[in-house]
A and B are shown apart, each in its own frame.
Chain A
């Protein structure tokens, strides 16, 4: 268990975090009974604030847990997250200001609002809203897995650890739900800046300590070639993983929410263009998956405490615990803990926007503005606790597996959203068919690639010369072919109208 001084630091910082979450309500004050004031912070954030807010979506459990864990257990191929964050902002800096402009002009809050207006198709918009809500769910689940791993390492050795960990988690989510309800995106943004400052300092400290005491040479010693670099046969898997992930990030509803909160297209473009710098911390965290091999105490703890299949989840907390003195460990652990809470808040808000705007409003078009905002706030709480319930009811590994699928299914909304920003000539029935086929093939290929067992990979073996490809790429290709061919066939009929 972490020494008392560490726990004390953790608790004090958590209290500051909660204060900031509530204080957010007063920051850049607006009328919280309007949906875009609550969930987009009134669209008035500067380039620097948006940089932090969208960056906050990067430092999530995906970065702390999923990537280092996979580098640790599988090897260099999971470093694909680095080229992914290097290029994703090159897409965002051109696509998102376009979406911002049309959204501001027409009062859109979600990507589905845009799709509905651009293709005059209610069904397509509802379908895309459902895909967005479903894809976010395991993403929130993954945040909870990350928070549990920090608590488990922090409290390891005490009596009734499971009960204490579960209660702490539920209590944190109740507080999170309350301050998100009152402060909306303003609370999430203030806490995001706080969390990222803590995380950046922690990552720097651990890297310095690990390099001084262990060094890369010792950490790599004895590891197989697949840890030094990817293997020649993994080249196609590598580019398909990083390019598709780069395309997928801004299709996620929470990334849209963050982008639309900017005060102008110019400040949004500038903030996005500089976000690759944020990825430096992600790259260093990925390297924790290698550095931990050089830390004898951390490796012994991991091997003695956890079974091989779940060991990876605890790599980052364990390396921190065995590298830093207790107070600094408490500091870093709090960073990771709220590094799960803040994104969970933004994700649940973006789910509730889709649910309220694109599903409930379709059923009750006469809903008043204040009723709309209230519906979204209540839906946010429900979505948060669905994710918590999911993690408690199913094994932890389910969240990780479904998160793998999440990236594949959200990619299928690319034609309607990204191509929709460039042209409105696409045929809506082709878009719906392409989306459904892409979803179906994505799930089917996941089953095939994993031999109809537990999902552990998103790579489908193609041939001995090509190697494997990311399933998201294959499903999106099928989707795009249907959309383009269908729209070409429909084009002559369109002109007659």
Chain B
């Protein structure tokens, strides 16, 4: 019984960390979604600040995946 629970939660852990890891790849791979100038921030075109923003989002998502996996997934 308890073994089943562990196996189930292990699987959902793997799915969760996989999704967290893959999101930045998908968002940035859809290049046409950010090939534009507007809206600008302080004169900086969307193309630049949007990808800059993804550096923070990627660190947050990867960081969460690493913390979850380190805590519950073994080494």
Contacts and interface: CB of A to CB of B under 8 A. Distances in A.
Do A and B belong to a common assembly?
yes
Contacts of A235: 31-32, 35
A212 to B, nearest CB: 11
A342 B31 CA distance: 34
B62 A238 contact: no
Given A83-B28, A90-B25, A276-B55, 9 more contacts: A79-B51, A86-B24, A86-B58, A217-B43, A229-B35, A229-B37, A232-B35, A276-B59, A277-B59
Main secondary structure of the interface of B (DSSP, over half): helix
Given A87-B24, A232-B32, A279 B48 contact: no
Contacts of B44: 216, 287
Contact of A238 (B21, B31, B46): B31
B56 to A, nearest CB: 7
Contacts of B28: 83, 86-87, 242
Interface of B: 21-22, 24-25, 28-29, 31-32, 34-37, 40, 42-48, 51-52, 54-56, 58-59, 62-63, 65-67, 69-70, 75
A97 B75 contact: yes
Given A76-B47, A287-B48, A273 B62 contact: yes
Interface string A218-245: 1110000000111110010011001100
A425 interface: no
A269 B37 contact: no
5 contacts: A82-B54, A216-B44, A229-B37, A232-B35, A266-B75
Interface of A: 76, 79, 82-83, 85-87, 89-90, 93-94, 97, 101, 211, 215-220, 228-232, 235, 238-239, 242-243, 264-266, 269-270, 272-277, 279-280, 283, 287
Given A217-B43, A228-B47, A89 B55 contact: no
B47 to A, nearest CB: 4
B36 A229 contact: yes
Nearest to A225: B37
Contacts of B47: 76, 79, 228-230
Which of B25, B31, B37 gathers the greatest number of chain A CB atoms within 10 Å? B31
A324 to B, nearest CB: 21
A215 B37 contact: no
B44 to A, nearest CB: 5
Contacts, number: 117
B52 A82 contact: yes
A230 B37 CA distance: 10
Contacts of A89: 58, 62
A95 B29 CA distance: 20
Which of A79, A90, A243, A277 gathers the greatest number of chain B CB atoms within 10 Å? A90
Contacts of A211: 42
B63 A274 contact: yes
A274 B62 contact: yes
User: Across chains A and B, which 9 residue pairs bring their CB atoms closest together, nearest first?
Assistant: A216-B43, A217-B43, A229-B47, A273-B66, A273-B62, A276-B59, A276-B58, A83-B28, A86-B58
B75 A90 contact: no
B31 A87 contact: no
Which of A82, A216, A276, A279 gathers the greatest number of chain B CB atoms within 10 Å? A276
A86 B75 contact: no
A27 B59 CA distance: 30
B63 A82 contact: no
B43 A220 contact: yes
Contacts of A228: 37, 45, 47
Contacts of A101: 75
Contacts of B55: 82, 85-86, 276-277, 279-280, 283
Contacts of B29: 239, 243
Nearest to B67: A270
A273 B32 contact: no
Contacts of B21: 90, 93-94
Contacts of A275: 59
